[in-house]
Amino acid sequence: MRRKELEITDRVEIDEIIKSVEICRLGLSDNGMPYIVPVNFGYTGGIVYIHCAPKGRKLDILKENDNVCIEFEGLHELIESDKACDWGVKYSSVIGFGKGEIVTDPDGKREGLLAVMSQYSDSSYEFSEDELKTVSIIKITLTELTGKKRA
């Protein structure tokens, strides 16, 4: 990281940023071309779960290349100035790299859906076998996380 004074090295703080955001961006490589998409997600213990339709571009790409990048953007605030070059932004962000896989077993799908729902709600949920058959879950095992913040 070029600006070491902005780097977040505390894993607890990184996890807090991830748990505080509602949307993340999933980056994939489609035959050498970048593909990025905003998604809802769940995060638990270094694993990111993404809920999606049973068919689609994300899944097609992931079947060919399981390397992923994921970005979480937290607090942000525009800092205005009288001088154009003095404008800035307060922010926090986390970038992660890892391997993605498509979860096929019902218990794994249930675990992923529960993680997604716990990202947004404190309520408890149950999922029927029919519901589990109609969704896909992408499980991303993170191998690297970096955080950055400008307060």
Q: Which residues of 13-23 are buried (b: 16+ CB within 10 A; e: fewer)?
A: ebbebbeebee
Q: Which two tokens stand for residue 47?
A: 């694993």
The pair phi, psi for residue 25, each rounded to 5°, is: -115, 125
Q: What is the pTM of this model?
A: 0.90
Boundaries of every domain in the chain: 4-150
Average pLDDT taken over every residue of the chain: 93
Q: List the CATH code of the domain at 4-150.
A: 2.30.110.10
Query: What tens digit of pLDDT does each residue of 46-91 get?
Result: 999 999 999 999 999 999 999 999 999 987 888 899 999 999 889 9
By CB atoms closer than 10 A (0-12, 13-18, 19+), residue 138 is: buried
Is residue 9 over pLDDT 70? yes
Query: What tens digit of pLDDT does each residue of 83-110 get?
Result: 999 998 899 999 999 999 999 999 999 9
